[in-house]
Structure 1
């Protein structure tokens, strides 16, 4: 596959990844390679990387615990101290091998260590391949509030090895699919239409769809790296989705949701908001709801759950002057940013969702 050119880096696929990596490591004469993994990628992905990594540079492997619970400033402190202890300097590089937690966290750690060192993202989940590793957003959660602390700093490259998808359970694959569906809904109806027929797709089709999803995100990000305008389109489904994800993460009696599971609910709810504001038709809303609920299990919400989720909306990063900002659909394949919505319409959206 032809590499995709982003603002300051390239995204490589499969057979091109290791030749690029070998050349990059030789060209830059790095002093040390730090490889950040979690327990799963250490076991399932790192051996393949190491067996194909031709370099004489000293390698240090750092493992963190799996899960969103590790995506915090305390993990960063541990990593910074570890890198110091192992002799990390301005000519070190970090390879982030993992899902969105690893690429978000590892990118932030690298971007702030010694005021910024190089890093390369090697995403191992579908979600990280099509979303988290692309676009230069790096950061950590503040308590249970998603992505409140971070920087925008682009990697040296992103290496997409779709072989790693073979290690994923079905729920992780679905989680990544949520972001792919979002890309079609906000930008390209033809791409959305392709994703509607997943049962008829082969493995080769999936590789092509992953590349197309990355191209959509990259096209948007390239126009607006710092999210002052069109990049806000990528937040469709995320205003309510992030609040739902945060609430389920902090609630002891709730099962923690994967990012894509929460975003899938968010996309249905925010599609209903789009319907309430007469931005999309009833037919479009029905289609969106049908496709997403066919893939993702319904989540049950009590009145108290909904109240607490609404309270969390005020912490959304897109908010300006205390007002919650939504990116809503204008039609399938087109977005409208900076939309404000009354809570009464959000409650109607939850009411409709409860009858799925």
Structure 2
């Protein structure tokens, strides 16, 4: 597949990616190479990468425990300390191989260590391939609040090898699928319609579906790298979805949700809001709701859950001047950003989701 040129960096696919990675190692005089992994990718993915690397550089592996709960500044401090102890300098290269937690955190570590060293992302989950590793956002959570601390800074390249997906559990695949569905809903109606009957999809075509998703996200980001305008469209489903994800992460009585599971709920809720703002038709809403509910299990919300979720909206990064801003769909395949939504409509959306 042809490489995609993003803002200051390329996204390479499969075997081409490894050729470009080794070429990059030859052409740049790095002092050493650090590979950041989590406990899952250290076991399942690193053994595939290491034999392919063509370099005489000293390679050090830095592992942290897998899971969103470890995507925090404490983990960064530990990694910064290890980098320092093992002699990392301004000419160090860091490769982040893993899902969104690894690429988000690893990119942030690299962007801030000694005011920034080069880094490369090798995403290994569907979610990180189509979303987390593309677009230059790097960061960590602040307590249970998602991605509150971070920078926008681009890698030297992103290398997408879909063979890594063979190690990814089905629930993680569904989590990544949510972002692909979002790309269709906000940008490409025809792409969305490819997913209306999952049984009809030949997953031999998965490479092409991933490619199109990266294309869509990249096209949006290229227009608005720092999220002042159209890039906010990528937040469809995320205003409520992130609040739900954060609430379930911090509440010990709840089962932690995967990112895509929370975003799927967020997309249903925000589609309902779009309907009641006369931006989509009832038929479009019913199609979105029934499609998402056929893929994702219903999440149970008690009455006592809703108020704390709404309180978490206050911390959403899209807020401006204390007003919560939504990106809503204006027909399938189009988006309307900077939409204010009253609490009564949000509560009504939750009631409809539960019905």
Which residue of structure 2 lines up, in the alignment, with residue 247 of structure 1?
Answer: 247
Distance of 2:141 and 2:197 partners within structure 1: 35
Deviation of the 1:204 alpha carbon: 2.8
Which residue of structure 2 lines up, in the alignment, with residue 176 of structure 1?
Answer: 176
Deviation per residue, 1:265-317 (Å, 9 max, x gap): 00000000000101000000000001100000000001110111001000000
TM-score by length of 2: 0.99
DSSP-derived class of the 2:50 partner: helix
Does residue 351 of structure 1 match 2:338? no
May I ask how many residue pairs the two structures share in their alignment?
A: 355
Does residue 27 of structure 1 match 2:32? no
**Preserved contact between residue 275 and residue 281 of structure 2 (Cα < 8 Å):** yes
Deviation per residue, 1:120-158 (Å, 9 max, x gap): 000000000000000000000011000000000000000
Deviation per residue, 1:52-101 (Å, 9 max, x gap): 11111110000000100111011110010100000000000110000000
Deviation of the 1:240 alpha carbon: 0.1
Q: Which runs of 4+ in 1 moved over 6 A?
A: none
Structure 2: runs of 5+ lacking an equivalent? none
Deviation of the 1:197 alpha carbon: 2.8
DSSP-derived class of the 1:95 partner: strand
Distance of 2:24 and 2:198 partners within structure 1: 37
- The correspondence of residues 169-318 of structure 1 with structure 2, limited to 5 A, is 169-318=169-318
Deviation of the 1:201 alpha carbon: 2.2
DSSP-derived class of the 1:195 partner: coil
Which residue of structure 1 lines up, in the alignment, with residue 153 of structure 2?
Answer: 153
Deviation of the 1:17 alpha carbon: 1.2
Distance of 1:332 and 1:290 partners within structure 2: 14
Deviation per residue, 1:203-257 (Å, 9 max, x gap): 3311100000000000000000000000000000000000000000000000000
DSSP-derived class of the 2:30 partner: coil
**Preserved contact between residue 76 and residue 105 of structure 2 (Cα < 8 Å):** yes
Distance of 1:117 and 1:38 partners within structure 2: 20
Structure 1: runs of 5+ lacking an equivalent? none
Deviation of the 1:338 alpha carbon: 0.1
Distance of 1:314 and 1:196 partners within structure 2: 34
Which residue of structure 2 lines up, in the alignment, with residue 6 of structure 1?
Answer: 6
Deviation of the 1:196 alpha carbon: 1.7
Distance of 1:204 and 1:92 partners within structure 2: 38
Distance of 2:21 and 2:173 partners within structure 1: 26
Deviation of the 1:114 alpha carbon: 0.7
Does residue 101 of structure 1 match 2:101? yes
User: RMSD of aligned C-alpha atoms?
Assistant: 0.6
Which residue of structure 2 lines up, in the alignment, with residue 114 of structure 1?
Answer: 114
Deviation per residue, 1:12-43 (Å, 9 max, x gap): 00010111011001111111111000111000
**Preserved contact between residue 91 and residue 117 of structure 2 (Cα < 8 Å):** yes
Deviation per residue, 1:160-198 (Å, 9 max, x gap): 000011101110000000000000000000100112232
TM-score by length of 1: 0.99
